Structure 1
Amino acid sequence: MFEVLELSDRYKKVLTIVVEDYIRHAEPVGSRTVAKRLKPPLSPATVRNIMADLEELGLLSQPHVSAGRVPTEEGFRYYVENLLEAEPLSEKARETIERAFESEEIEDLSELLRITSRLLSHMTGFPSVVSAPKIGSERLLKLDFVPLGRGLVLVVAVTEAGIVVNRLLKIPASVSPEALERLAQYLNQKLPRLTLEEARDELLREIEAERKFLDTLFEELEEGEGPSEPIVEGISRLLDVPEFKDVERLKELLAAFEEKNIFLKIIERCLGSHGVQVLIGAETGLGAPRNLSAVASPYYRDKCPMGGLAVIGPMRMDYSKVVPVVDYTSRIVSHLLDKFLPRT
């Protein structure tokens, strides 16, 4: 819709004022408020007509007959894609972000991710989420198989960066514990300096009898999300947001946040794109409540996306401030990742 929708400069200015005033005050915006801020000025009657046109286009809505207008989900999307002017990150904010990562307490990858999540929540005033790196592109150090009986085996994979992933797999009844031990010895001779993809390709060329088992094994490992659940910080900050003072909306919010996998879906949506992504309303995949948005970005190692981070807040969050914080933080994490995921 927005690829072909063209608004005049006058209409863009009115929409921008409504969105930004609603972001600041969480209240419907009236025509007189807009008229006072317009340069050159327009009469309140002219502004009302423009706002009515924007409502017809689906960019504004009027909660009550006597109230002003508020941006719709489509209105926020148009604003973010066409009108948003992100504020340059201040020197003070840059220093705050950099100091957080200079702490001597950052001794491993998990601590780096926890500090990142806390920092984003502190800087933006909204909940944040940071996913752990996937191990698909990491070089493997060792694989172990622990037979559990009844056709089940616990696979333990360790990367050279110290990431440990456990997976429970079903195996054919014909695969004995002795065969698993031989296979583990063979794999561990082949694994050093190989990624999952490289190891799978080489092994499938050499081992015919265990082809089906190995294919299942490496597919399962590649789908792993890393050593832990996503790290979520600051959910309670949303309790101070006017939109969630209503008890029913609060229940919807808490129910949506109970399932941490929903955050991973937000992260995954940004991994295929470069830079910061803004997901508004239904685009977040959170379902109810619909009036949430997410600002997400991948972080990289050697230009390859390893994981992601996001800030989640009300649809009227101040994108001009949140976007540069998420962007700069993701760049710092990408820069520091080599410290905890050393090259071989």
Structure 2
Amino acid sequence: MTEPLGGLKELNERSREIFRQIVETYLETGAPVGSRNLSRQLPMTLSPASVRNVMADLEAMGLIYAPHASAGRMPTHAGLRMFVDCLLEIGDLSTREREQIQRQMTAEYTRQGVDEVLSEASGMLSGLSRCAGLVVAEKQINRIKHIEFVNLDNGRALLVLVGEDGAVENRVVNLPEGLPPSALIEAGNYLNARIRGLTLHEAKERINQELKEKRDLLDELTKGLIEAGLAEWSGGREETKSLIVRGRAHLLEDLKAIEELERIRLLFEDLESKKELVRLLDLADEAEGVRIFIGSENQLFSLSGSSVIVAPFRDNDRNIVGVLGVIGPTRLNYARVIPVVDYTAKLVGRLLT
């Protein structure tokens, strides 16, 4: 398929209405639409021949295509993108819907805490969208009780973080060359004297400041070990992220062909391996609100035939600590799903601060 040669400004009112009808029919049914049916649906009087001429122009622009020779037309991924960006009328949640989502999430947070509220968010997004709900979050210990370095082999140590709630995180760090075993104890004592009761973010801020101001308290090798540990706390790798997916069965609904089943199989494999999670967080960081990835325009999770709608949620310092949203077919209900994802992300951010 070709890329669109122009934008919405190149479409006159008649072309725009025909394009809208093609996209809306696809979003509703998943099926191509022909010129005869289109001529009946349009709010203006046009013959099937006139409609075909407009459809030919839209196809030349890369906005629609025929899935096979005798079929009607469907939007390309680029056509869907233009529709979402320029023509989509995004709905809003009713007061009742907002209250219901807030009540559900707040109750789960009060009963269970952070992990369960993220799981509840994923499940709720799945139920409301009839897609798979997705949450990617930094693994976090809320407040630190104890930290310890355990010597491993080949110049590595295990960094053990224990939270006040009993949660434990283990991360492997590379040791500075020539570091004596006593430095592991010294580094642990140094950190435990300063970060007990702090969040990970607060601990990083405090230790970074102290390392700048009081370099003479530690030798360079021990300081290097602490900085290596701080780097591990900063995340950025797949193993420092948690992934919650609910409603995968929705992705198996209404499959039309064997190639679609293969696409879903690859998607499941990618989700199991947490592929591209870091990149998803990075992409969400590029915009303040909802991000929409349609079909092949972004190779997230091998999603050549799916769409992803995500929004970030943030901590007290406005740092992005996670992303939530949905994965579904390209013909998902964008007008409905976008405000649901946006509101849920903002609500989760408020609950976690």
Verify same fold: TM over 0.5. Answer: yes
Contact kept in structure 1, 2:162 and 2:168, CA below 8 Å: yes
Match of 1:129 in 2: 134
Match of 1:323 in 2: 338
- 1:274 aligned onto 2:292: no
Shift of 1:218: 1.8
Match of 1:202 in 2: 210
Partners of 1:73 and 1:214 in 2: CA distance: 48
Change (3 A) 1:168 1:252: closer
Aligned amino acid, residue 293 of structure 1:
S
Partners of 2:185 and 2:351 in 1: CA distance: 38
Residue 220 of structure 1: which of 232, 253, 265 is its match? 232
Match of 1:181 in 2: 185
Partners of 2:277 and 2:23 in 1: CA distance: 26
Shift of 1:133: 3.6
Partners of 2:283 and 2:330 in 1: CA distance: 18
User: Does 41-50 or 71-80 show the bigger shift?
Assistant: 41-50
User: 1:13-52 counterparts in 2 under 5 A?
Assistant: 13-52=17-56
Shift of 1:150: 4.0
Change (3 A) 1:253 1:179: closer
- 1:101 aligned onto 2:114: no
Contact kept in structure 2, 1:165 and 1:224, CA below 8 Å: no
Shift of 1:175: 2.2
Q: Give the TM-score of the pair, scaled to structure 2.
A: 0.84
Match of 2:86 in 1: 82
Contact kept in structure 2, 1:296 and 1:326, CA below 8 Å: yes
**Two-structure CA RMSD over aligned residues (Å):** 2.9
Deviation by residue 1:35-69 (Cα, 9 ceiling, x = unmatched): 22222332222221111111101111111222100
Q: Give the TM-score of the pair, scaled to structure 1.
A: 0.86
Indicate the SS of the match to 1:261: coil
Change (3 A) 1:255 1:12: same
Indicate the SS of the match to 2:39: helix
Match of 1:298 in 2: 312
Shift of 1:109: 0.8
- 1:238 aligned onto 2:251: yes
Change (3 A) 1:337 1:14: same
Partners of 2:5 and 2:225 in 1: CA distance: 48
Percent identity reads: 34
> Structure 1: which 5+ residue stretches go unaligned?
339-344
Shift of 1:129: 1.2
> Structure 2: which 5+ residue stretches go unaligned?
none
Contact kept in structure 2, 1:134 and 1:307, CA below 8 Å: no
Partners of 1:332 and 1:282 in 2: CA distance: 30
Aligned amino acid, residue 20 of structure 1:
E
Match of 1:336 in 2: 351
Shift of 1:124: 0.5
